[in-house]
Amino acid sequence: MPSLPVLRSDSGAVSAGGTDLVRSYLRDIGRVPLLSHDQEITLGRQVQELMAIEELREELRLRAGGEAPADAELAQAAGLTPQLLKKRLRAGQRAKERMVAANLRL
């Protein structure tokens, strides 16, 4: 019967089957605090705005025969300046990542 591979976790402990890797993962996700109700609402709105901009980008791409719109064109269609568009896209992406990280603990 074949034996399980020996794995090393970040702490250097050796285990068969990766038990320490699972513990390490659970410990890491436990470090991310849960979101408050207000944080969920704020981050959710930022993610919704990100999704709306991405949907608009796709709509403009389809209208242009498959060519992606320039940032200035997308900003104009969204009623934003190019700088504000970039800021909202970054904020939405960060909000999405934060929500995913916080929800991994659930």
In the chain the domains, ranked by start, together with CATH numbers, are 1-31 (no CATH), 35-103 (1.10.10)
Question: For residue 7, what are the CA distances in angstroms to 12, 14, 17, 18, 94?
Answer: 9, 6, 7, 6, 33
pTM (2 d.p.): 0.72
List pLDDT tens digits, range 21-72: 888 877 877 888 889 999 999 999 999 999 999 999 999 999 999 999 999 9
List pLDDT tens digits, range 96-105: 999 999 988 7
At 17 the pLDDT is 58
Strands 14-16 and 6-8: antiparallel
At 54 the pLDDT is 98
| Placement of tokens 């470090």 in the chain | 31
